[in-house]
């Protein structure tokens, strides 16, 4: 890989991060702007579909923004190196939409429900990175030993299901889950060869998705 390859990899990630920073700080300073472009079920159902996209570039505060952007920057290259910048962007936005679609589905009758943040898109990139590199090691601040990527991915989505069921915190667990599903599905569509080389990991990473489906069908999700 030469210098220009590294430059290209950095640019696409930086452009997305800059867009998030600009939109988020605009929202911090202008409440009207924030309210106009956040995810809100009632507004979306009245036809303001732009919120499905724009809400992914707004954040609650600087900490929320930094956490999402740091995570994106950390995992972006793992996807770009395997699939290229264009496909990375497709996965990012597909995950953002998947996440908001799942939120809209679960909260379709909660016209008051609102949400913001790039978490769905970022989780999609995270899950895509794990799917492409299932043996990658991840380190958590409170765990001194490396965690295999696929173990982290499964655990994260199981926690998201628990969070959805128990409504833990002011967190859009359904958007996180939907984003991960988006990253998972789109990455497999782009890289069908994974079914030959990593079928076992594909099956393991699908476990939380199957669990969510079963819980929903049996009425045990809420």
Domain ranges of the chain: 3-217
Contact 56, 100 (CB under 8 A): yes
Contact 68, 20 (CB under 8 A): yes
Q: Which of 174, 165, 40, 168 is nearest to 99 (CA)?
A: 174
What are 49-81's pLDDT values in tens digits? 999 999 999 998 898 899 899 889 989 999 999
What are 92-137's pLDDT values in tens digits? 999 999 999 999 988 888 899 898 889 899 999 999 999 998 888 7
In sequence order, the 6+-apart residues with CB closer than 8 A to the CB of 56 are 96, 99, 100, 116, 117, 118, 120, 121
Which residue's entry shows tokens 């913001």? 116
Look at domain 3-217 and name its CATH class.
mainly alpha
């Amino acid at each position: 890989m030469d210098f220009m390859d590294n430059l290209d990899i950095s640019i696409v990630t930086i452009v997305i991060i800059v867009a998030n920073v600009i939109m988020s700080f605009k929202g911090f300073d202008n409440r009207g702007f924030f309210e106009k472009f956040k995810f809100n079920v009632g507004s979306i159902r009245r036809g303001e579909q732009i919120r499905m996209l724009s809400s992914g570039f707004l954040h609650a505060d600087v900490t929320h923004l930094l956490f999402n952007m740091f995570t994106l920057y950390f995992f972006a290259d793992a996807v770009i190196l395997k699939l290229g910048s264009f496909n990375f962007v497709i996965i990012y936005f597909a995950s953002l939409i998947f996440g908001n679609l799942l939120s809209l589905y679960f909260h379709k009758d909660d016209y008051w429900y609102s949400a913001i943040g790039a978490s769905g898109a970022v989780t999609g990139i995270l899950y895509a990175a794990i799917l492409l590199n299932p043996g990658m090691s991840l380190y958590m601040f409170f765990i001194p030993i490396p965690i295999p990527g696929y173990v982290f991915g499964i655990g994260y989505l199981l926690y998201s299901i628990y969070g959805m069921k128990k409504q833990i915190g002011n967190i859009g667990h359904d958007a996180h889950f939907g984003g991960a599903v988006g990253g998972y599905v789109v990455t497999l569509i782009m890289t069908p060869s994974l079914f030959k080389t990593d079928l076992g990991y594909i099956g393991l990473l699908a476990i939380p998705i199957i669990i969510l489906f079963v819980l929903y069908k049996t009425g045990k999700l809420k």
